[in-house]
Each structure stands twice: as structure tokens, then as C-alpha cells.
Chains A and B, each alone.
Chain A
């Protein structure tokens, strides 16, 4: 196998006395959809935050595209080509759908502050080109007609699409999706999985996604890691995961708690 696009090497993350991630390692290959599943509180979101630089791991390294990125500032991580969505959707609430997506293009508009204030040609050029691109992107998600609507006025499913579109706008190589299908009804989920496959192809993405819904994981992911109490208890295909004893126990444990 070729060099992985992302490798998490022996990462541990502690919050005070809580060990959220415990010597976790896994590697994601370029072009695959990799799943991260596990019961509540297993540390899935935490490892995302380690990758994006929101939390600096207590131990271990994270390597992206052959370069170590452990502890890199979150906005720099985006520049390197990793974009994310949040578990609880976080759109810019005073802005329209289009403006939300335009924030994603912030670093691709190369006009200066003075060019903006004096409305010089480069300002017009970038604004026009990038707005057209943003509209195409919204088209891809099937929400172009909602471009001028206030983002938080949309349905839950559409808000999720805006959030993913906004992340894709930053032109990432790796896209991190934190429970993208949570709270959606079956037809919305179906719709979303088609879109994710499409953007993966169109934008040449690698995708790492967290999900609870086993059915969704089954038809999305090439491979997955199962986390329990911050530890990697299984790596393999979804089909193997559902018959793995350790995985079943971990999930049964969850059901028992619930």
C-alpha cells in the first residue's frame, strides 16, 4: 500500500484525569471513505479535534500528507488541506447560505484590504469568479435556490449540506465529517450519502467520518476503526465489524447503559 494521507500515531489525549484517547493509531489511505465509530464518549470527536489542532494531543503524532501536523494551529491545518464539520451544526447565523459558503473561500480570494476598500478590479474579479464557483457548489448540493436564504432558517438536513459545502469550499484533500447523518430521516440520509459520494469523486477527496448509524456506515465506508474508551478495538471492513465480538460487546455495553 502507498503512503497514507493521514496517519494517527499513538495519540493520547487527557483532560485532567479523563483519558479521552488512549494510544490510538490508525491510517487513512488516499481516496477512501474511512469510518470512525464507537459508543458515546468513546473519543471520536476528540480525535477530530486533535487532527484539526483544536486540542493538542498529550502524546503521539499526527502525520498528514507526509508532514507532521501535531499541534499546528487550526486555521493553518485548513490551509494544509483538512476541512471539518461539527457534530452540532455551526453555521454563521447572521449570514445567508451563499455568504456561509463564501467564508469557505476566504483564503482563495487574493485581493487585499485596500483593493476591497477602493473597489479595484481584482476585488470585482475575485468576487465575481468565486461567487460563481460558490453557486456551482451549491448546485452540486442541490440547494442553489436557497442561496439568499438565511442559513439558520433552513431545514436540519439542508443546514448540514451547507456546512459540508462550506467545508468543501476550503478546497481540502481530507474532509472530516462528524456525524453528518445524525438527526436526519431515512430519505435525507439516503440523499446525503449520494451527495457525499458525488463530491468525493468531483473534488478528489478523502473522507474520514464519524457515525453511529450502522446502515449508513455500511454503505458509505471502505474501512473503519471502532473506538471504545479511547482505544482502537477494531480495524477492517464494515462487514467484518458487525460480526466482531469485541465490537459487539462495546456496543452492547452502550445499550446496557442507555
Chain B
């Protein structure tokens, strides 16, 4: 009961903070917060399939792309579409796609999650780690389609003039909803079954768990929020093109969930802020540097080299990340518990 009240108070506080930030902070700060919020949504949902369920997947860039394009097509008004599609006329369906902001986000999420369902059949019915390679391939296929179906995607030029409804109020709220949803899943029979699949799939099956469905449900849930996140991204950026959804996006999210701890949602939140901040801070690596009077020249991509090394080092020496698969509150509680115990022992 006490826990319930604390949780409700925390929820009210975070909603109030989001509202306060939305109405008081300047645009530059808000755009940083928006970025963090969207990445948090993506990383939290990515952690469900990778961290909680233990199924290595590389899907985010593909599903974010699907969500972004779907939402964008539903949000952009018809006249704008006619003007924008330069290579070929938009397909008739494209001209019929209209929806409000929230419905468009929902449709984006559902579309991504239906595709996840379709991918589940080839991937989860067999043992082996085919999910990773299939989702990696899927990210490329989506790009190939985006380039080759200009009647739907406007090809390499992408879509622009997407109505920018996504402000921090929406993004922050949806991030909170994603966080709470993930926690609710984890502490239900579904989340327990997902963890069981991660720990020992054969033993989970021996408990009567239909592990195919559990994996599929986790994957579809991740995809749903990645689709929604993609829709938010499209509306936040107002322009999208195939080049934004490369593997780089997935890689950043992977770094985040590994740092936060595979399976730890609060760890993921903290890691999102750290990694996004780190990316900004390490920007100097890509620029020209002067070392002992020598100029190194600009090296776009240097940061990614550093982050790749960081990822490997974390895997080799700090596999559990910041919080392992536990939530921050559990870790704190354990610490306090231990301290009280020692205190009691002294008395």
C-alpha cells in the first residue's frame, strides 16, 4: 500500500515536471529533452526483447522507420502530398491516409507490431539466434523498399512538411507511459515468463510456458513502441528520409541498454541520458583536433569507433552494465537493507 502511494506520487510528480518543462524551458533545451524522450521510448522497448526476454534483436531502425513513414503519411495533408511527391504521383492509398495525431501514432505502432508478428514465425519457431540477423537484414530491406517505392515514400528525398505536433508534453508523457507499461509487464506472469525464457528456455517449456508466444508478444510490444517512437520522431523532426534509419540508430540504442543493464528499465532511463549526453560531449572527436601542434583533420565517425570499443569493453569487463537486470529501486532497497542489518548487528 505504501509502495502504491509512493508510485502514484512519483507519477504525478513526473507529469507535473513534464508540464513545467514544456511551459517554461526554451526551445533549445526542449529539443534536447525531446531527443532524450524519444530515445528513452525506443531504448525501453528495445530492452524488453533484448534484456528481459534475452532474444538478441537488431530491429529498432527498421521499426522506427516503419512507424515514422506510416505516421508521416497519415499526418501530412493531401495538398502537401501532391506537391511533395516529385518523382511519381503518390499512390491512391497514400492520398486516402488521414488521421489525427494520436490515431496516427497508434496506427504507426500497430503497423510495426503486425510486421513483428510476421517476422516472428520464421524466427521464433526455430532455435538459434536468427532473430538478430533477420532483423539486421530487415533494416536494410526497409531502406531498399523506401528507395524503390517512391509512390509511397517519395524515394531518397523522403517526406517533409510533416505537421510538428510532437512537443515535449506528448513525448514526455508517452515516455512515462512506456516506462510504466514495461514495469507492469515485467511484474506480471508475462514478464516472469519472458525472464524464464531468457534464463533457461527448456526449463520454461517444462513449466508449460508457450515460449514461442512469449517471445512473439515481447517482440510485438517492442515493435509497437518503436513504431510509436518513430511516429513521434517524424513529427518532431518534420522531415524524414531513408538515411535517418540506418544501423547507427540501432547501435546507439544497443549501447544504451547495455550500459543501463539488460533487463533494467530504470537503468535504461539513466543510460539514455548518459549516452545522449556523452554523444554530444564526444562530438569534439569528430572535429579537427590539435595534438602537440599537429592537426588531426576532421574525422566524422570517430565517435562511433569509440562507442564500438566501449561496447566491446563493457561486454568483456562489465557485462551487467549499471544495474544488471534489477531496477534502481531494488538496488537501493538492498543497500539500505544491508546497512540496517549491519546496524542491527552492532547494537
Q: Do chains A and B touch in the complex (CB under 8 A)?
A: yes
A170 to B208 Cα, complex, angstroms:
7
Is the beta-carbon distance between B184 and A116 smaller than 8 angstroms? yes
Contacts of A93 in B (CB 8 A): 199-200
Q: Judge whether A78 and B192 touch: CB under 8 Å.
A: no
Q: Smallest CB–CB gap between B81 and chain A, Å?
A: 35
Smallest CB gap from A115: residue in B: B188
- Please report the C-alpha to C-alpha distance between residue A106 and residue B208 in the assembled complex, in whole angstroms: 8
Contact B206 A92 (CB under 8 A): no
Instruction: Report Cα–Cα, A117/B190, bound state, in Å.
Output: 10
Is A109's CB within 8 Å of the partner chain B? yes
Question: Which residue in A75, A83, A123, A170 is a CB contact (below 8 Å) of B210?
Answer: A75
Known: A94-B325, A116-B184. A106 touches B193 (CB 8 A): yes
- Chain A at the B interface: SS class: helix
CA of A105 to CA of B203, assembled, Å: 14
CB-based nearest B residue for A90 = B203
Which of A96-104, A194-202, A222-230 lies at the interface with chain B?
A: A96-104
- Chain A, interface size: which category? 35 or more
- Assess whether B199 is in contact with A116, with CB atoms less than 8 Å apart: no
Q: Does A107 contact B (CB under 8 A)?
A: yes
Query: Does any Cβ of A come within 8 Å of B98's Cβ?
Result: no
Q: Is A166 an interface residue (CB 8 A)?
A: yes
- B190 and A92: CB pair below 8 A? no
Question: Hey, which chain B residues are within 8 Å of A169, CB to CB?
Answer: 207
Give Cα A117–Cα B181 distance, bound, in whole angstroms.
6
Interface string of B15-53 (1 = CB under 8 A from A): 000000000000000000000000000000000000000
User: Which of B188, B192, B205, B207 gathers the greatest number of chain A CB atoms within 10 Å?
Assistant: B207
B184 near A119: Cβ-Cβ < 8 Å: yes
The reply to whether the CB of A12 lies closer than 8 angstroms to some CB of chain B is no
Q: Determine whether A160 belongs to the interface, using a CB cutoff of 8 Å to chain B.
A: no
| B239 in the interface (beta carbon within 8 A) | no
Q: With a CB–CB cut-off of 8 A, which chain B residues contact A79? A: 208
For B195, give its contact among A74, A94, A104, A117 (CB under 8 Å).
Answer: A94
Known: A83-B206, A113-B217. Is A102-B185 also a contact (CB below 8 A)?
no
Is B129 close to A, CB under 8 A?
A: no
Is there contact, CB below 8 Å, between A90 and B208?
no
A54 CB–B CB distance under 8 Å? yes
Q: Report the nearest A residue to B188, measured CB to CB.
A: A116
Report Cα–Cα, A93/B199, bound state, in Å. Answer: 6
> Which chain A residues in 67-123 approach chain B with CB under 8 Å?
74-75, 78-79, 83-84, 86, 90-95, 99, 102-107, 109, 111, 113, 116-119, 123
CA distance A74 to B191 in the complex (A): 21
B300 to chain A, nearest CB (A): 40
In the bound complex, what is the Cα–Cα distance between A126 and B185 (angstroms)? 15
Known: A94-B195, A99-B192, A113-B217. A107 touches B208 (CB 8 A): yes
Whether the pair A95, B195 counts as a contact (CB closer than 8 A) is yes
Q: How far is the CA of A103 from the CA of B199 in the complex (A)?
A: 12
C-alpha spacing A127/B209, complex, angstroms:
17
B199 contacts A92, CB within 8 Å? Answer: yes
Partner of B203, one of A92, A116, A118, A127: A92
Chain A residues 119-135 with CB under 8 Å of chain B are 119, 123, 126-127
Closest chain-B Cβ to A173's Cβ sits at a distance in Å of 13
Contact indicator A91/B203 (Cβ below 8 Å): yes
Q: Assess the B207–A94 pair: CB atoms within 8 A.
A: no
- B263 (CB) vs chain A CBs: closest residue: A94
Is A52 engaged at the interface, CB distance under 8 Å to the other chain? yes
Question: Which of A54, A106, A116 is within 8 Å of B207, CB to CB?
Answer: A106
Across the interface, A109 reaches (CB within 8 A) one of B184, B189, B206, B325, namely B189
State the CA gap A78–B206 with chains docked (Å): 7
Q: Provide the bound-state CA to CA distance between A200 and B67, in Å.
A: 54
| Residues of B near any A CB (own CB < 8 A) | 181, 184-185, 188-193, 195-196, 198-200, 202-211, 217, 263, 325
- Interchain Cβ contacts under 8 Å between A and B, 17 examples: A78-B207, A79-B208, A90-B203, A91-B200, A92-B196, A93-B199, A99-B192, A103-B204, A105-B189, A106-B209, A113-B190, A117-B181, A117-B188, A119-B184, A166-B207, A167-B207, A169-B207
Interface residues of A (CB under 8 A from B): 52, 54, 74-75, 78-79, 83-84, 86, 90-95, 99, 102-107, 109, 111, 113, 116-119, 123, 126-127, 166-167, 169-170
